[in-house]
Chain A
């Protein structure tokens, strides 16, 4: 073996070691967060059992862990409602932008919505607080959903635009050459061809909204004594519950916050994996 070859091999080993070191450095904090959430949250989940998702939260001096049902139900409902609001709007704009890309409306919508994703979500929360909460006189599930829908809109728009743009030109031409107008082509052809992309976009937007805290801070309220009080009444959400309980001085609340954290991670991971697998299945 020549000296040059030996040097090259030595360099290769060194680079491999460096890569391993960098990988460990990157993964360790992530693993640490996950480990802490699993070990501490896992203890809470084991102690509370199934009642963790069905019961109301404990009082500060309670000995039982109780549950997080209001936050769980609030999170699912607020996110669902946010998607119901944002997806049709995003879809409508995505349709106009893909079909009429050179109009002023399309060009300005594109710039406006994309720049919208850069606005800190706490500002959205404050805006909805002044525009909705103050006028209604109360925080509510609806106000929380509106704030979440504003934050979700750019994500839904980006995915739905990509979905509609993914329809091959030759398929578009086939639809047009059969005499379909743009709306019929959208309804019968484009949506069908890109349906997995569209579904993925909706799910990714749902995942994005589900874990977001800031838009809900001033808007959704903090319901504790019932699972659901109504659309126009305060509700609760998992990230808010974790935020409030983690800052409280009570040990029992800390326990609940860790359990809720683990549950949020599990739900987030499941939704994320489902959306990824859907995206993998997109074939044209």
Chain B
């Protein structure tokens, strides 16, 4: 059994002929928080979406190289099965607007066959909302619709929805980019706790956030990983000039 949740070898991605990722090699250990940092347009989101093949829905995409997730080549497995194990939470809070708070969280558990009875479903919904520190705020309004929540609460609801699918890997695309510091803190707290049960891969353009939560970091710049390693090491002694500039906010 490999110690790695994700193994990327010589990954190249281009969209309509434009190279987005160039020869990416990366390994992500199980039960860690790995943060991919980089300025806007460096290919972070594309890399993240490649891991659960959400890139399949992009027009004109070309992917080369190999990506092994949980020991299996993602390009030979059923993509829907893959996405049930590798769930992505987007930057913009996107709860299903026609469903109640309860149903938003219950839906993936129901569809993935995780809950067999109403009681099990209730327990999973409660567990997921507790994990993201939202339960106390919504326990008396589970039948309300997501538009009644604040932006930060909606993002935590999306995180709870992703957890209710019981994934093995959680992909987070700048999950706190649009929310206030208090909600950011709650999400980061949740992530530290969640890594006991699953592997987290997060993308961010904020180095200070990476410093707070990451076990392992990689800096993506111009479609290439310019530096990676244990978070402490990279932040204390960056080897690359680009990393140094990124951490100082120059690029």
**Pairing of A with B:** yes
Partner-B contacts on A (CB < 8 A):
102, 168, 170-181, 184, 188-189, 192-193, 195, 284
CA–CA, A188 to B98, complex, Å? 10
Q: Which residues of B contact A168 (CB under 8 A)?
A: 94
Q: Which residues of A contact B92 (CB under 8 A)?
A: 170
A178–B97 touching, CB < 8 Å: no
Minimum CB–CB distance for B58 against chain A, Å: 11
B96–A179 touching, CB < 8 Å: no
A179–B97 touching, CB < 8 Å: no
CA–CA, A148 to B4, complex, Å? 61
CB contacts under 8 Å to A, within B23-82, are 52, 54, 57, 59, 80-82
**Segment with Cβ contacts to A, from B106-114, B195-203, B210-218:** B106-114
CB of B83 within 8 Å of the partner chain? yes
A176 and B98 contact, Cβ closer than 8 Å, known pairs A170-B90, A188-B111:
no
Q: Which residues of A contact B219 (CB under 8 A)?
A: none
A179–B83 touching, CB < 8 Å: yes
A170 and B94 contact, Cβ closer than 8 Å, known pairs A177-B87, A179-B80, A179-B83:
yes
Minimum CB–CB distance for B244 against chain A, Å: 34
CB of B186 within 8 Å of the partner chain? no
**Segment with Cβ contacts to A, from B13-21, B128-136, B157-165:** B157-165
A178 and B111 contact, Cβ closer than 8 Å, known pairs A189-B96, A193-B97, A193-B98:
yes
Count of inter-chain pairs, beta carbons less than 8 A: 68
A177–B98 touching, CB < 8 Å: no
CB of B224 within 8 Å of the partner chain? no
A176 and B107 contact, Cβ closer than 8 Å, known pairs A193-B96, A193-B98:
no
Minimum CB–CB distance for A13 against chain B, Å: 48
- Minimal Cβ-Cβ distance residue in A for B57: A176
Given contacts A171-B97, A178-B111, 16 further A-B contacts (CB under 8 A): A168-B94, A173-B57, A174-B90, A174-B95, A174-B96, A177-B87, A178-B84, A178-B107, A178-B108, A178-B165, A179-B81, A179-B82, A179-B84, A179-B85, A193-B97, A193-B98
CA–CA, A173 to B89, complex, Å? 9
A176 and B84 contact, Cβ closer than 8 Å, known pairs A170-B90, A170-B94, A184-B111:
no
CB contacts under 8 Å to A, within B94-152, are 94-99, 107-108, 111-112
B59, B98, B99, B162: the one contacting A178 at CB < 8 Å is B162
* Residue contacts A-B, CB under 8 angstroms, 9 given: A170-B94, A174-B96, A174-B158, A175-B96, A177-B162, A178-B161, A178-B165, A192-B96, A193-B97
Q: Which residues of B contact A192 (CB under 8 A)?
A: 96, 98-99
Minimum-distance CB pairs A-B, first 8: A179-B84, A192-B98, A177-B88, A179-B83, A170-B94, A174-B94, A178-B108, A181-B80
- Minimal Cβ-Cβ distance residue in B for A184: B111
A178–B83 touching, CB < 8 Å: yes
Minimum CB–CB distance for B198 against chain A, Å: 15
CA–CA, A192 to B80, complex, Å? 21
